[in-house]
Structure 1
């Protein structure tokens, strides 16, 4: 029997990006379905999160994600532009957020078509892979095409159905919290959460206990 799990994931999360090669390898090696369910990042859900955290939190996180990428041979650079408009000196989140709403709604459109994992994988490699102005030109359209999607149709749906898409994205967040966590990336299998790119091997171990088979 093919097992399945939900992945809760954000376009702004560097650890979500770093998890993708492991998730890809999991899909390649095992008979499993991974349902990627996009959520809005903490900057949207809790705008004061960065101001409340320790002053060292942001600089440590940047240092940590870059060394994880280096250790695993992943090409990674800080996004340009950042999917979240934020003053990095004051940590204040701008009320104007054109990128993250667009990206997350597009991710949910892709989820409706069963292609959210492929779309998120392709787009995250633009955002975190050093592509400058990834939001302009044909970058996103070409990423969607590589994921087997029609970008023009996706954009139209994202514009026309934004309130319903936001409801579905909020439902994803509620499902994440019901599953026992709040952050991303989190894989939930059989009502058990596995948070972080460093817990994927643990999730595989648990799934093998429940009958996970190699392809």
Structure 2
């Protein structure tokens, strides 16, 4: 069976723009989908935004809003931001409690084979500007994905080392192909960006992998 690895980040607006179409691909094609959450680029490369070009963020905000409108998706800045970062300087705080928590929940969801469902429910809240980080919101996100927050948090407390190991493995595997997200790798062939999902579907169709 074909294998599709999906590298995805909760802080990436492009990952949000892609999640519905990625879920559809997992349903439409005869493929083993492995959802592999990674930390945001600002944590994987802490000096990225400090040394970045000044045009990067202004363009990104314009492009994401345009793409969200094109796709018919709601879009608003996250409240709160999933990571603690000074947007003016690009400096990233050493402690990241919100990202640490949601990544642990996501890995737990993946263990229960509901990683994409959890990511989709969380992304819709994060990138619509809705509350997403408090217990009530996370409980609702989990319920939408067919999960229970208390169960995931209990598992996470008992598996901290395994969670860190899994995240490290995901990020190392991602870097074999690209540093960005969303990144889709079909049997070793990488497709980077939400604007390559049509190309990914084309490859699936070319290989006649659609469910009969």
- Please report the TM-score for the alignment, with normalisation by the length of structure 1: 0.93
Aligned residue in 1 for 2:178 = 181
CA distance in 2: counterparts of 1:111 and 1:167, whole angstroms: 14
Residue number in structure 1 paired with 2:156: 158
Q: Give the 5 Å matches for 1:53-202.
A: 53-132=52-131, 134-178=132-176, 180-202=177-199
Unaligned runs of 5+ in 2: none
Q: How far apart are residue 151 of structure 1 and its match?
A: 1.2
Q: Distance in 2 between matches of 1:72 and 1:150?
A: 30
Q: Structure 1 unaligned segments of length 5 or more: list them.
A: none
Q: Distance in 1 between matches of 2:26 and 2:186?
A: 14
The answer to whether the Cα contact below 8 Å between 2:14 and 2:181 also exists between their aligned partners in 1 is: yes
Cα shift at 1:28: 4.2
Contact 1:187 1:194 in 2 (8 A): yes
Please give the root-mean-square deviation of Cα atoms over the aligned residues, in Å.
1.5
Residue matched to 1:207: 204
Residue by residue over 1:46-71, the C-alpha shift from the partner in whole angstroms, topping out at 9 and shown as x without a partner, is 11000111011111111111111011
- Indicate whether 1:10 and 2:14 are aligned: no
Contact 2:78 2:127 in 1 (8 A): yes
In the alignment, is residue 40 of structure 1 matched against residue 65 of structure 2?
Answer: no
Distance 1:19 1:69 in 2: 10
SS at match of 1:184: coil
- Tell me how far apart the structure 1 counterparts of residues 206 and 94 of structure 2 sit (CA, whole Å): 46
TM superposition shift of 1:92: 1.1
Number of matched pairs? 212
SS at match of 2:86: coil
CA distance in 2: counterparts of 1:159 and 1:97, whole angstroms: 17
Deviations 1:72-120 (Å, cap 9, x if unpaired)? 1101111000001111111211112111111112111111111101010
Q: Distance in 1 between matches of 2:74 and 2:31?
A: 26
